[in-house]
Structure 1
């Protein structure tokens, strides 16, 4: 399991290779990855990019805790999260999540769970830039609803 937070761009292939290399002993049958990118618009129209701020130490700890929860809930054999911070241009990579599990359902659900919960429980704050000015972005209702779906489920791991 690994977590990285920082301003540098990442290679999806290198992260996939890292995830699988450290998982080789488990012989997982499923690997799922997700990469989030900066959109060039919001509800009001065109934006010029975003800026992400975080709380060093606390953010990494929250991501590690989230990985631990996902591992227990979905019987993961390995997982990783990489999140960028700082000023990011439109279409830049923001976040990468990778999960390994014996079965695809756990791997897919864990990746979805990690992204939904990350947006609600990890201290990372976003500004959007438009017309040369930045504006803080409030939490979206849809993000809260996505996280609540996981909190309300009572299914057994791997079900």
Structure 2
């Protein structure tokens, strides 16, 4: 009987030990489950942020594409038109032709007149290119601002809503 009691006490001790080990395993398993859930939650949040950023990037790419197409299709011709119709260009052309009208020299000095015209034309062309370069640089700087393209459209008088449709630019 004593042997049976000793066996019961021993089994009872083993049962307690196994129960404690099982409880420790259950707690460890529960902790791992919580860590997995936290990890999955972080991954879902990260994925949602990536999707949001991706959508924002796609919208930005679309807007930039429309703006670039507008710059090429409308802004460059409008700026060229503004330059071609500018008072500065008219003044340069007048100054270029004025010596010929004032001199009314004979044909014998035509080569000198031609050389003078070439030099004056080169000088005026350089001034015009500087003006053209400054306008293009200003348009480039303006296009980099958040509402730069809209400001450029307003400045050039090209605020037509149809111009915002990228299909209109080919």
More strand by share: 1
TM-score of the aligned structures, taking structure 2 as reference length: 0.24
Normalization by structure 1: what TM-score?
0.25
Q: Whose helix fraction is larger, Structure 1's or Structure 2's? A: 2
